Structure 1
Amino acid sequence: MSRTDMKRTLVLALCALALLAATLVSGRAGAAELLIISYHDIRDDIARKGDPDQYAVSTQNFAAHLDWLAGHGYRPVALDDVIAASRGERPLPDKAVLLTFDDGLRSVHTHAFPLLRAYGYPALVAVVTDWVDLPPHRQIDYGPRMFTGDDFLTWDQLREMQASGLVEVASHSHDLHHGVNANPQGNSTPAAVTRIFDPERQRYESEAEYLARIRDDLSTSASLIERELGHRPRAMVWPYAAYNSQVNAIADALGMTVTFDLEGRSQAITAGMHGNGLHGLARLLLFDNPGIDDLAYELRHDEQLEGMRALQIDLDYVYDADAAQMERNLDALIERVKQIGPNHVFLQAFADPDGNGSADALYFPNRHLPLRADLFNRVAWQLRTRAGVKVFAWLPVLGYELPDARLRGSLAIESSNPAETFRLDPFQPEARRIIAEVYEDLAASSYFEGLLFHDDALLREDELADAAPSTPAARTQALIDFTLELRDAAGKWRPKLQTVRNLFAAPVLQPESEAWFAQRLDAFNAAYDYTAVMAMPWMEGSARPQAWLDRLVKEVWRHPGAPERTVFELQTVDWNTGRPIPADLLKAQVRRLQAQGVRHLAWYPDNFIDDVPPMSDAREAISARSFPYLEP
């Protein structure tokens, strides 16, 4: 090779390296990871653990957090940096961190602000404008005690912190930091996402009334901040992280194009995000006065390795025509779930008293089916707040027995098997509209964190030959696409919903049976957060249940990524005999599945009325606690 050729080769190589480096830098700039930490009160007099105010952090621990973050390469950023990165104007640094303080407590000025100045950390302070400069005669029930004006920031203090260049003020609403009446039973849920129930008029707020109330509140808050601080807020921090796409649109229109929640701990900030609004940014909520060991654990542990433990529960067991008995049933359910300690409950939102697998009525106000009882919202909220679990609403995909016989007949799938679950035809626009509105109505009336799509979402090869796609894979995908439409319909009122879909075991064990079900594991794992495989050997008529389960696990593991997304859902009753599966056998199944690498487990049914499976055995088998047994 000549010198000229060598020089040319070297130049080309250097150019290639420069291009690669530029690409890597551009990639980092386009998708920088942002950690956001949520603080509330910073005080000196906080118990090391178990303080009555679980969201308070001691001044000593807060200073230690700042020191640890600085020492481990985290780079503080302001809201302005996040917005600029989302517009592609300048990239965020590696390990960017944004600090936020909610509720506008006085300690932000007296305790946090001096440390922010010392460490050079910017912060976003979200204030409830109705609480700023709180008059002497008013008190706010803040949980551990009543708070007065001495506990909240003043406008002068906010002006001082803003003038430092370190603090930007966001809205935390004007007066939405409280609960409102959410149902006829008198439960209180977050004001920003609840259609208020009026017991005197026996009606809920209309959608228009609800949105007008939120718009008035946010407009008042933004105007007060502008009047007192000289500019309108750019961010809205929703109280209790409770929001939906409709109220985010209101915030957008008022100039608050950045909103936050409390799910997760970080997210990628990419150029171009700001055009769609920086909504629902994840934050790590600190509670129980964490030290640096606790903070390090929260930032380092892999959330994907956490296993699901779920009970699938029939709301039909809670319902009773006698209101007093229904309350006793609800108390029994909450106590059982609390004692067992799962981390998820799949809660039935439809009434199926005849047990045929389709919905005769619903447990929430809606436009299309009878309301058996306005019950789902109450039970879901009690499970979340009293038992501490995530609630997934369990609904049919196609199985709705519409009360209008003519309409029901015209939209139904005609099955050659009279024992088949009644289903509506998903290829008829009218049926799709009705079902989507059912999901939207559920989300408008209730608080939940995910959806479980029922096992009625199947399509036989001899059904709807003229309307359905011709190949099994295409029919499978058509039903998947429809369920995602239903998720989006519910997502209008409940953002970031996780999804689980029931899958029969046959398509796993006999892939050719996709033709008979329009279901396939790899397609489900690609579409949903989790696939709940019905690991139910007695339902499948197996004479050797454990060998059947072993084979099921082996077949599931053939699919890439299956351990992260597959829930093995066991049966607790042999429906052929009507007898419960012995508790020792259930526990042995759980242990064997775990030994084979199964991460996510559920079972159905969980009979809290008759204590089946027995609570002590259930706690041992399916608790999400590291130590599931009763304390001595």
Structure 2
Amino acid sequence: MEIPSGRWLPSYAWTRGSEAVNVRTTLAALSILTLLALPVRTTAQEPSQPFVSIALHDVVDTRAELDEDAITSDRLVALFEWLAGNGWTAISLDDIERARTGAKPLPPRAILITVDDGRQSLYARVYPLALAYRTPIVAAIVGSWMDTPANASVRYGERNLPRTGFISWAQAREMQASGLVEFASHSHALHDVVIANPQGNVLPAAQNLAFANGRYESPAAFRTRIDTDLVRSRERMREELGRAPRAIAWPYGRYNQDALDVATSRGFRFALTLSPAPADAAHPLDIGRFLPTGDPLLGITVANLRFEDPWPAARRVVEVDPARVFDGDAEASNARLGRVIERLVAIGATHVAIDAATLSADGRIDGTWFPTSLLPVRNDVLPRLAAQMRARAGVSVAVRLPHIAVLRTLGDEQRALALYADLARHVPFEAMLLEDVDALGESTASAQDDPADVRARRQASDSAGWRREDAFALQAFRIAERTRSGLELFWLAPSTHPLDRPSGLAELTLVPRGFDAAMLPATPRLDVPLSRRTGLWWTTDSRVDPAALVRAMRAFQVDGGTVFGWRPDDPLSDTPKAAIVAPAFSSRDAPLRRQGP
């Protein structure tokens, strides 16, 4: 069972106890007849040795047996047959290593097939196909599950499954002896969650600090916990299989830089994630994989493996102020949080931007919503707020912590960066909203960019010539990115910034506009795919006519806009009114199409 992140994958997040996991999946079904070869990049960040990878889990014979990550055996057979008949080559970790060192390049249509969790179907259904098609497989197993006695059960997500539902060490040795199956570590016991805040929300164990006995785990204790687990995993696999694993498949696809540093120090040379992006043999510690969910049709699986449409079709962003949700009354605060979540679902938001701190009248931070020793903590509620919104509303979370206010408050840049490290350690989020960073507008996006291009360009940027505050903002983002792997950068551009020029260093450029019902803001016609990387962010209040806001959204959609939202959103007073704005705002509605040429 996996927690993926990013495009093409369902958005999972965890809560404790009986709170439900909300899943939102967006897949574009394309005809197999239109699928050609894996596209070749032409940008300056062209990978030297590109390939794609798929992360399979359980394989069942009937749809009645499906869970969220399983596929049916007939569709797995169809995939193997399609790959064999259309010039694709299944590769091994050895092939990737040879390509990385320059010994032998990868073929043009290369795919790494992986199977996580060690379910019995790996042996009963996947392994026979590997033998029949002579297809190499990388199988990731969880040590504690493998060591569970035969008459006991395995805690698998929210279920207890019989130990017989997983492969045995003897079956693993048989598969390894074939020369086609290589076993990777899926950790010894990190395929689990930890209580991550005082309110009891649970998050993936390999990425988040644990909260116990009224205290947060220290970063040093976190590294020790990861190290102890990975050492145990390697020891058990060496004892049972005769060799230590060289690849780690991060449980739930979640990890951070500390965990990766520990893994490499212990001898892991490959790391498998669930980032939905093509991989590159030059970067074996960041192998992204496509996770098929919902037993997709072959055409959908192939389209997703090709990563043909890398940008979300629509994003709807609203900002929520924690001060409107939390006060000293826990019961009332929880009731208000429930209303916020219900509203996010009702209006069809995809993202929520959350303030991480409060500002004084002179532009300084006077309190945070997350734990830190550097500033007064107004209330340690942001970790809960983010976790609940992700899980129950199915939205991605962007945090807003104005860097200029942080610098003004703390003065010293190292202390200021430490504040962002505290934010990332404690709060689960997918994006960081940066504002007042003019330098981000100096790099213009290309229509050919995909998310990997943006990340590579951002990583290569040395911020030379940038003003001090701009360079610090990029440093702050990188500090957060160390903990929140796959973090996206959202840039709040100046209000005068052209809508048709998204930043080449940001996944999303938001252009703020005041809202005047008497004069709807004119927008240029936007062309796909740049329209998916830039959007309008209106400033609204109780005086705004929601019908006029709807007209503005519709007009922006007609001009090609797919990204928009507003600040602030006031769920408690229903401003703007959900019943009126939802039909135009909801991400479930397809963007309007321009008529004519």
- TM-score relative to the length of structure 2: 0.82
Q: Shift of residue 592 of structure 1?
A: 0.5
Q: Quickly say closer, same or farther: Cα 1:596–1:40, change in 2 above 3 A.
A: same
Q: Quickly say closer, same or farther: Cα 1:495–1:29, change in 2 above 3 A.
A: closer
1:156 aligns with 2:146: no
What is residue 499 of structure 1 aligned with on the other side? 489
Q: Deviations over 1:223-276 (max 9, x none)?
A: 111111111101001111110111111111111121121121313333xx4xxx
1:601 aligns with 2:564: yes
1:486 aligns with 2:473: no
Q: Which has the higher contact order (CA 8 A, sep 6+)?
A: 2
Q: Shift of residue 598 of structure 1?
A: 1.7
Moved more, 260-269 or 76-85: 260-269
What is residue 375 of structure 2 aligned with on the other side? 369
Task: Read off the aligned partner of 2:200 and give its amino acid letter.
Answer: G
2:497 and 2:511 in contact (8 A); partners too: no
What is residue 306 of structure 1 aligned with on the other side? 313
Q: Shift of residue 506 of structure 1?
A: 3.6
1:396 and 1:457 in contact (8 A); partners too: no
1:76 and 1:96 in contact (8 A); partners too: yes
Q: Mapping of 1:427-446 within 5 angstroms? A: 430-446=411-427
Q: Shift of residue 613 of structure 1?
A: 1.5
Q: Mapping of 1:290-301 within 5 angstroms? A: 290-300=296-306, 301=308
In the alignment, structure 2 segments of 5+ residues that lack a partner are 1-40, 440-462, 592-597
2:550 and 2:584 in contact (8 A); partners too: yes
Q: Mapping of 1:210-221 within 5 angstroms? A: 210-221=222-233
Q: Shift of residue 557 of structure 1?
A: 6.5
Q: Shift of residue 205 of structure 1?
A: 1.0
What secondary structure is seen at the aligned counterpart in 2 of 1:193?
coil
Q: d(CA) in 2 for partners of 1:248 and 1:144?
A: 27
Q: d(CA) in 1 for partners of 2:344 and 2:382?
A: 16
Q: d(CA) in 1 for partners of 2:328 and 2:165?
A: 47
What secondary structure is seen at the aligned counterpart in 2 of 1:367?
coil
Q: d(CA) in 1 for partners of 2:555 and 2:539?
A: 15
Q: d(CA) in 2 for partners of 1:29 and 1:534?
A: 33
What secondary structure is seen at the aligned counterpart in 1 of 2:503?
helix
What is residue 35 of structure 2 aligned with on the other side? none
Q: Mapping of 1:381-460 within 5 angstroms? A: 381-400=387-406, 423=408, 430-455=411-436
Q: Deviations over 1:39-58 (max 9, x none)?
A: 100111333xxx66110111
* Candidates 211, 214, 218, aligned match of 1:197: 211
1:532 aligns with 2:522: no
Q: Shift of residue 297 of structure 1?
A: 3.5
1:342 and 1:389 in contact (8 A); partners too: yes
1:64 aligns with 2:78: yes
* Candidates 123, 130, 133, aligned match of 1:116: 130
What secondary structure is seen at the aligned counterpart in 1 of 2:63?
coil
Q: Shift of residue 431 of structure 1?
A: 2.9
Q: Shift of residue 30 of structure 1?
A: 6.5
* Candidates 343, 351, 354, aligned match of 1:344: 351
Q: Quickly say closer, same or farther: Cα 1:31–1:457, change in 2 above 3 A.
A: closer
Q: Deviations over 1:430-469 (max 9, x none)?
A: 53222211111101112111101245989xxxxxxxxxxx
In the alignment, structure 1 segments of 5+ residues that lack a partner are 1-23, 401-410, 412-422, 459-472, 510-520, 574-578
What is residue 613 of structure 1 aligned with on the other side? 576
Q: d(CA) in 1 for partners of 2:187 and 2:401?
A: 33
Task: Read off the aligned partner of 1:378 and give its amino acid letter.
Answer: R
Q: Quickly say closer, same or farther: Cα 1:588–1:474, change in 2 above 3 A.
A: farther
1:133 and 1:153 in contact (8 A); partners too: no
What is residue 248 of structure 1 aligned with on the other side? 260
Q: Deviations over 1:200-241 (max 9, x none)?
A: 3x1111111111111000000011111111111010011111
Q: Shift of residue 194 of structure 1?
A: 1.8
What is residue 140 of structure 2 aligned with on the other side? 126
Q: d(CA) in 2 for partners of 1:475 and 1:266?
A: 32
Q: Deviations over 1:327-364 (max 9, x none)?
A: 11111111211222222111221134x67765321111
What secondary structure is seen at the aligned counterpart in 2 of 1:34?
strand
Q: Shift of residue 599 of structure 1?
A: 2.6
2:353 and 2:399 in contact (8 A); partners too: yes
What is residue 338 of structure 2 aligned with on the other side? 331
Task: Read off the aligned partner of 2:164 and give its amino acid letter.
Answer: D
Task: Read off the aligned partner of 2:469 and give its amino acid letter.
Answer: L
Q: Shift of residue 365 of structure 1?
A: 0.9
More helix by share: 1
1:238 aligns with 2:250: yes
1:572 and 1:586 in contact (8 A); partners too: no
Q: Shift of residue 123 of structure 1?
A: 0.9
Moved more, 439-448 or 68-77: 68-77
Moved more, 310-319 or 473-482: 473-482
What is residue 329 of structure 2 aligned with on the other side? 322
What secondary structure is seen at the aligned counterpart in 1 of 2:353?
strand
Q: Shift of residue 157 of structure 1?
A: 0.6
RMSD: 2.8
* Candidates 275, 281, 290, aligned match of 1:284: 290
